[in-house]
Amino acid sequence: MAADRRRARVLRGTPAEHGFSFPAEWAPHEGTWFSWPRPEGISFPDRYHTVPKALARILTEIAARERVHLNVPNGNYERIVSEQLTAYGCPLRNVRFHRIPTNECWCRDHGPAFVLRPRRGGRREAAIVDWGFNAWGGKYPPWDADDAVPTRVAGELGLPVFAPRLVMEGGAVDFNGRGTVLTTTSCLLNRNRNPGLRKADVERYLKDYYGQQHVVWLGEGIAGDDTDGHVDDLARFVSESVIVTGVEDDPDDPNYEVLRDNRRRLARARDQDGRPFTIVELPMPAAVVHQGERLPATYVNFYFVNGALLVPTYRDRRHDRRAIEILQRVLPDRRVIGIDCTEIIWGLGAIHCLSQQQPAW
């Protein structure tokens, strides 16, 4: 990792001080970053053989609209993954491989956080924030390769980096592109991330290193979520003023009270200018259980790509259809595409958890 830091210039100060900010996910992309899972990894015990086909479907939809950047450990993996993608119908012409090893595949959390600032002539310049990563509170060692990914990417792209001494995961935060960040107390105030930091301290880091003005806090996460409550399983911005949130209708479901509490918090929330948000409710899918374990299935783990929205589905015909219809009404200018993530959710994540956008600049 030291060699990568020599290649990537580390900037002093904070992104906010330099005029950088984190754009909304729906802003135009240059591409999307992924880290290919390893069979010997811990994410898909006894089910890895089902995952490449599901990943190929996701990558096919993205590669038709923007470049796919794919982290693999070495040339052998590149050949194997190329053969798998081709076998499952994913063209390789818009897929770029990077020899960047990772421990696991959850690029949303270990991947580069791109921040942008305007330049003369309407162009922008980019930098990467290299947050600390400790595998969701030290749950899944080792994580040294994952922690090194942002600086390795910065070195490959020739971008400078900011290096806050704070553990942060991309799935823990969501942005409206106007200065508001959405997050949860259960994750970012958890002692297994940044012990000793108060809520005000965490807010200052969010504002300084993401270039934001305002923080909206939700509460607890859904059943089966091993991240201690990532917001990308609960509620997401779909525009600067509209938030989509999951709701559960069954009072006996363990997610019922959690999602009701977060819905109440959203009703009270205000944006960076003091205005209320428009809240759109999404159903939750029927419980997805594997080997007796409740999995964190949610439609909120969707991902914006150029011209489309990719939505995880779970072979729940009624709720899958309803969620897609709601999102299509909210986003009439995008094509909303459902992708079966029943196999992927065994790794306790879905489309958003796997991906990290690289904005255009």
Q: Rounded mean pLDDT of the chain?
A: 96
CB 294 within 8 A of CB 282: no
Tens-digit pLDDT profile for residues 312-347: 999 999 999 999 999 999 999 999 999 999 999 999
Single out the catalytic residue among 90, 105, 187, 353.
353
Residue 165's pLDDT is 87
- In SS3 terms, the chain reads as CHHHHHHCCECCCCCCCCCCECCCCCCCEEEEEEECCCCCCCCCCCCHHHHHHHHHHHHHHHHCCCEEEEEECCHHHHHHHHHHHHHCCCCCCCEEEEECCCCCCCHHHHCCEEEEEECHHHCEEEEEECCECCHHHHCCCCCHHHHHHHHHHHHHHCCCEECCCCECCHHHCEECCCCEEEEEHHHHCCCCCCCCCCHHHHHHHHHHHHCCCEEEEECCCCCCCCCCCCHHHCEEECCCCEEEEEECCCCCCCHHHHHHHHHHHHHHCECCCCCECEEEEEECCCCCEECCEECCCCCCCCEEECCEEEEEECCCHHHHHHHHHHHHHHCCCCEEEEEECCCHHHHCCCHHHHCEEEECC
Q: Check pLDDT > 90 for residue 137.
A: yes
Phi then psi dihedrals of residue 126, to 5 deg: -120, 155
Tens-digit pLDDT profile for residues 52-70: 999 999 999 999 999 999 9
| Active site (annotated) includes residue 353 | yes
pLDDT band of 8, cuts 50, 70, 90:
confident
CB 47 within 8 A of CB 341: no
CATH code that applies to domain 2-356: 3.75.10.10
Residue 212's pLDDT is 98
Tens-digit pLDDT profile for residues 150-206: 999 999 999 999 999 899 999 999 999 999 999 999 999 999 999 999 999 999 999
pTM: 0.96
Percent of the chain at pLDDT exceeding 90 = 96
Q: Check pLDDT > 80 for residue 2.
A: no
pLDDT band of 3, cuts 50, 70, 90:
very low
| Interatomic CA distance for residues 309 and 257, integer angstroms | 28
Tens-digit pLDDT profile for residues 263-318: 999 999 999 999 999 999 999 999 999 999 999 999 999 999 999 999 999 999 99
Residue extents of the structural domains in the chain:
2-356
| Interatomic CA distance for residues 232 and 184, integer angstroms | 10
Residue 121's pLDDT is 79
Per-residue pLDDT averaged across 129-145, rounded?
98
Per-residue pLDDT averaged across 231-235, rounded?
98
Per-residue pLDDT averaged across 94-107, rounded?
98
